[in-house]
Each structure stands twice: as C-alpha cells, then as structure tokens.
Structure 1
Amino acid sequence: MAALALVLTACGSDDGGDDTSAGGSGGDNGAAAGELDTSVEGEVAVDGSSTVYPMTTAAAELMTVDGSPIQVSVGEAGTGGGFEVFCTGETDISDASRPIDEEEEVPVCEENGIEYTELLIATDALTVAVHPDLAVDCLTVEELVKLFGPKSKATNWQDINPEFPDQEIVGFIPGTDSGTYDYMAADVVEDESETLRKDFETSEDDNVLVTGVSETEGGVGFFGYTYYEENQDKLKAVAIDGGNGCVEPSAETAQDGSYSPLARPLFIYVNNKSYTDEPAVAEFTDYYIANLADIAAGAGFIPLNDEDYAATQDALAGIGG
C-alpha cells in the first residue's frame, strides 16, 4: 500500500491535472486526475467481491493520503452478498467479480428503484493453486471440470489424471456468494446447475482458502490473482490448458487472452442516485476512475487497455444523464 501511495503521489492528484500513465498495457489510458476537492466530506458505503476488495480499499486509502476527509467503508461479503445490500439501497457502490445477474439481482434492484451504472475497472487472472509440494503443474479445462464440477466423485489426484500423484484431494473454494465461485461454475465448468461440488471446504474469505491450500498436502483451491501473488511463497499456481497448451496466470497472459478461460473482468456498480445526490460518493468514484490504471497496477490487477478505459470513462460521464 505504501508503494502504491508513492506511485500516485508521484503522479499527483493535486498537480493541476497532469495525465496519469497507464499501468500495464503499455498504452496511455490514464485520466487527468484533476484537483481533488478536499472540502468534500461525507461517507461512502461499499461492499461486495473479496477479489475487488483490495483495489477499492487501495483507492480509498490513497484518497485519504491525498488529503480527502471522506470516510469510505469497504466490506467483502462476496459479489452476491454485495448485490443483496446494493439492490436494497444499503450501499452506494458494489464491488463485483462478475456482471450483475439479469434474472435474480436486476429484478431486486428494479423493485427497489435502484438505478445503477456498471464500470469496468480491471482484468483478473483467476488462479488455481495447489500445495507447493504437489506434483501437479498444469490442468486442462476437462480436468478442471473433473476436479470442481458438481458431479465430481474424484477423491484422489489420480482420479483426475492417472499421471498425477497418488494423493488425496482436499479442496478449498469460495462460498456461493462469491463472484469467483460463480465464474468458475458458469464460465469454466459450465454445468447447467451453475454449481460446484459440495464436499470441499468453502469460505468467503480468500485468506482462509490460501491458508487451507498452503497447509494441506494435496490441497487445491482458486481465487483472484492478487491473493496468489501475495502468497506465492507458500502456494504453487497451476498453468491452464485452454486448448493451446499450458499457460501460467499473469498480467500479460490475462490481457492478451492466452490465459483462457480463466481471465475475467472486474467491476464496480455505482448507485446513480448516490452519485448525483451525495458529493462524497461522486468525489470518491471520480477519483477512483481518474487514477484507475495506477490503482489497478499497484493492487496487483491488470489495467484496462485504452479502448476499455475510454468506455469506462464514458459510462461514468453518463451517470445522471
């Protein structure tokens, strides 16, 4: 966090509006941060994805470093848990590691008169990790289905692949409120039930999953790339073969599309009324997006390319008509 603070201090949010530089794509997709209005006070309530949590927390803390008195509370109830409170008007912003569900969550927002704007903020490389001593280095998509799918009966790694070690499988996966769970179930396993196997330990706290995998022989789990990167001294990331050979998770492979199908978009959803009626919400959201490239890179995520960043800026500019 301190290193990230130095990055944004160097770029300057009070330097007369010089452009910030994009963090990972090699292009210049930074926005003119402009003058931070340190006279704006108030509170901003955020909840949702544990994957996006470090990025939103970084944005809040960096705005404080730059002199803002705005108080931002950031929860990590999971993407689904975040939408539950967002769609009833209890929060101003919802962190999400998947799009809002059109069948279940959108109707709740509509019932409660919550109009919102989706803002794409970064890309993540969903990372499958195992105990560092486990001799499993690459998994095909078919093997991911055998490992995590709801119909899986695999209890030994050799049930997944006869060439794998004779070792019991012990799984640690996100809970059902997590967008990370939803993404694995719906976009990778692609079972019509959109669920995963129920005999693995679950938690909405990614740190619990990291601890479980790192301390258990035969342990396996999955979470956002940031959590792997922070704990790579005690975990081993598994390469994924999406049909074109084994590819390891990284910023580069997620952005160029080769880390398929586990590269995924990350979002924040902003309550339009909160943005237009509450100066603190508008100030925080504007600051977040203005410094997005540096916040994403510093928090360990893959910054947007120039085209996607421009679309996010346009969406933000369109709030309130």
Structure 2
Amino acid sequence: MKSLKKFNLLAMLLAAIIIASACGNGNANENTDGGNGEGAETEELEGSVVIDGSGTVYPFMARMAENYMGEQENVSVEVSRAGTSAGFSKFLAEDGTDFNNASRPIKDEEKAKAEELGIEVQELKVALDGLTFVINKENDWATDLTEQEIKDIFLASAGKKKWSDVRPDFPAEEIKTYGPNENHGTYEFFFENILEEQQLVDDINLQQDYSTLVDLVSKDKNAIAFFGYGYYASNTDKLSAVKVDFGNGPVAPSVDTIAEDGDYAPFTRPVFSYLNVNHAKEKPQVLDYAIYTMENANAVAEETGFAPLPEEEIKTTVDALNNLK
C-alpha cells in the first residue's frame, strides 16, 4: 500500500513538473514571438533616402523629409533641387536616386531610358500647383492681367517690349521678364502647355534657383516672373501675385483656386515624385518613405502652398505601394 501511495505521489509530482515545464516553454515561445512581432512593428528603420528633381516640389518634399526624420531618427532623407529634367538624369542612371520630384509628367524618352536600364518606375502624384506670375511690390499697374496679356508679355511674336505695349495706360517702361531655366519642369510646362511651344522673348532672364528669381523681382519694379505658387506663398512679403482673368474676372492664385475644379484651373497642374521601385524593394526605408509621403501628402501640401488631392486618389496610390511589400 505504501508503495502504491509513493507511486501515486511520484506520478503526481512528475505530471506537475511536465505541466509547469510546458507552460514555461509556451510562455517563453510567446514572449519570443511577441517580442519579435512587437519589434517588427516598432523597429526603427535605418539607412538613407536620396531625392532630387523639381525646385517647385522642393518645399513640399523638404517639409515631408523633416517630418519623417522626426519619426525615423535613424533614416537620413536628402532632398536636392536640380530641376525636373536634371533630376531625371540622376534618377535614370546606374545607382541613381531613389526618388525624382517632377513638376511635369515623365516623358516618353525618359520611360524608354528607364526600361533600357531595367528600372521600374512608379509615379506618385503628390499635389496640385498653380503657375503663378509675380511682380514687384511697387508695381501698382499690372496687378491683374488677362490670360492673353500674360502670354503676350512672354511671347517673342507679340512684340510687347514696354508695359505701355500691353495697355496704353501702363508706364512706358521696359518689361523685364524672368523665369526658371530649361532644367525645370515649370519652364517646360509654361513653354509647352501655356505658350504652346512658341518662342519666348529673346531677353528673358532664366535662372536655376528660385530664390534668385525672388530676389531679382523684389529689386526690379518692372519685373515679372513665373514659378509655382508655393514659392510665392513663402515670399508674399517680397512679391505680389498677378490676378489672372481667364474670361470671368480676375482670379488670384490660392490653395482654393488652384484646385482641379477651381477658378485658376487653366494654370493648374499636378506635381509628382517618381519612385525607383527596384530600390523600394531592396531598401525598406525607401518604400516606407514613399508610403509615408502619400499618407501625409494632403497635410503637407496645405502647409507648403499646394492644393490637396482627393482622398480616394491618395488611397489608391497607398494601396499600390503597400502591394510592393
């Protein structure tokens, strides 16, 4: 009988040990799995993201990069502004940039170059911009112009040399025209879409840096220049924006009027960032930044002088990016 009791006691102890061991191992596995799962969710990314391209899109992307690096401290996001076309040259190269910002759509020859290099490219439409014409603060005569008057000022064939050639009651002073150079998508948009590829005035002063254009116009009473609304919005203390009459009265460019269905729509255009999908698949931080950019595009657009996109359009792009994971 004693032997049986001892056997039962030993059996109970052994069972308790087995159960405890199983529970312990189970907890250990759960902690490990849970730790890995939690780590995957909260793990900080590291590495770099390299972006170049449009000067127009630069304020938007620079703010986006600043916000992102505030959340991902181990990721360095470098944003440069060589211009849309110059940026595509850097993007479409061996070991090129991760993104190219663009104030015009990618061209067929650029698509062909990407295909030749085996680079998969994804277009990210990030916001809407309004082509804005700016004048010196002391210019109190050309505060509103018709769409045709603006075209005539920049067209060689129109022969508008002096402000009085535009309207007889304007000063008989020589017009000084300025704009971004051929590296920029803004120049291409103006030349191709607004002027329909007609020759610009011979003496137009084209510059690489938008900050230079702001400075030149702010010091020249007879100056008029064109660039994206965002640069005007950040320099309203130095420049005035021309109100444009498209046929129904003068319209000032603004975040509201440059919307797709806004009153400034004839001078409105989408702006983009193009993603190297190959890099996005190889470098987690690049794909993460692309998704972050689209998820926060509308908030940053309004902060930097761009009009937001429809939410359903944003969602479609985010879904496409998530499919790259």
1:49 equivalent in alignment to 2:58: no
1:273 equivalent in alignment to 2:272: no
Which of 207, 211, 230 aligns to 1:226? It is 230
CA contact (8 A) 2:295 2:314 kept: no
Query: Aligned equivalents of 1:116 and 1:79: distance in 2?
Result: 15
Query: Aligned equivalents of 1:36 and 1:237: distance in 2?
Result: 47
Query: What is the SS of the residue equivalent to 1:240?
Result: strand
Letter matched to residue 56 of structure 2: T
Instruction: Quickly say closer, same or farther: Cα 1:308–1:151, change in 2 above 3 A.
Output: farther
Give the equivalent residue in structure 1 for 2:97: 91
Give how far 1:271 is off.
0.5
Query: What is the SS of the residue equivalent to 2:182?
Result: coil
Instruction: Quickly say closer, same or farther: Cα 1:213–1:281, change in 2 above 3 A.
Output: same
Give the equivalent residue in structure 1 for 2:220: 216
1:139 equivalent in alignment to 2:145: yes
Query: Aligned equivalents of 1:36 and 1:137: distance in 2?
Result: 54
Give how far 1:66 is off.
1.9
Give the equivalent residue in structure 1 for 2:36: none
Letter matched to residue 120 of structure 1: K
Which of 274, 286, 289 aligns to 1:284? It is 289
Normalising by structure 2, we get a TM-score of: 0.82
Give the equivalent residue in structure 1 for 2:31: none
CA contact (8 A) 1:122 1:266 kept: yes
Instruction: Quickly say closer, same or farther: Cα 1:314–1:149, change in 2 above 3 A.
Output: farther
Give how far 1:153 is off.
3.1
Query: Aligned equivalents of 1:205 and 1:36: distance in 2?
Result: 41
Query: Aligned equivalents of 1:253 and 1:143: distance in 2?
Result: 20
Across the aligned residues of Structure 1 and Structure 2, the Cα RMSD in angstroms comes to 1.9
Letter matched to residue 40 of structure 1: L
Normalising by structure 1, we get a TM-score of: 0.83
Give the equivalent residue in structure 2 for 1:30: none
CA contact (8 A) 1:242 1:260 kept: no
Indicate the structure whose relative CO is greater, using CA pairs within 8 Å and at least 6 residues apart: 1
Give the equivalent residue in structure 1 for 2:171: 165
The C-alpha deviation readout for 1:90-113, integer Å capped at 9, x for no partner, is 1110001110112x3222222222
1:175 equivalent in alignment to 2:181: yes
Which of 241, 244, 247 aligns to 1:243? It is 247
Letter matched to residue 47 of structure 1: D
**More deviation in 150-159 or 61-70?**
150-159
Give how far 1:318 is off.
4.7
Give the equivalent residue in structure 2 for 1:8: none
Instruction: Quickly say closer, same or farther: Cα 1:315–1:188, change in 2 above 3 A.
Output: farther
Unaligned runs of 5+ in 1: 1-34
Query: Aligned equivalents of 1:38 and 1:298: distance in 2?
Result: 29
CA contact (8 A) 1:46 1:94 kept: yes
Query: Aligned equivalents of 2:125 and 2:277: distance in 1?
Result: 16
Give how far 1:260 is off.
3.1
The count of residues paired between Structure 1 and Structure 2 equals 283
CA contact (8 A) 1:118 1:270 kept: yes
Query: What is the SS of the residue equivalent to 1:71?
Result: strand
Query: Aligned equivalents of 1:148 and 1:254: distance in 2?
Result: 22
Query: Aligned equivalents of 1:249 and 1:70: distance in 2?
Result: 36
Give how far 1:263 is off.
1.1
Q: Identity over the aligned pairs, expressed in percent? A: 37
Letter matched to residue 312 of structure 2: E
Query: Aligned equivalents of 2:220 and 2:320: distance in 1?
Result: 44
Give the equivalent residue in structure 1 for 2:12: none
Letter matched to residue 233 of structure 2: E
Instruction: Quickly say closer, same or farther: Cα 1:309–1:96, change in 2 above 3 A.
Output: same
Query: What is the SS of the residue equivalent to 2:174?
Result: coil
1:153 equivalent in alignment to 2:159: yes
Give how far 1:199 is off.
1.5
Give the equivalent residue in structure 1 for 2:203: 199
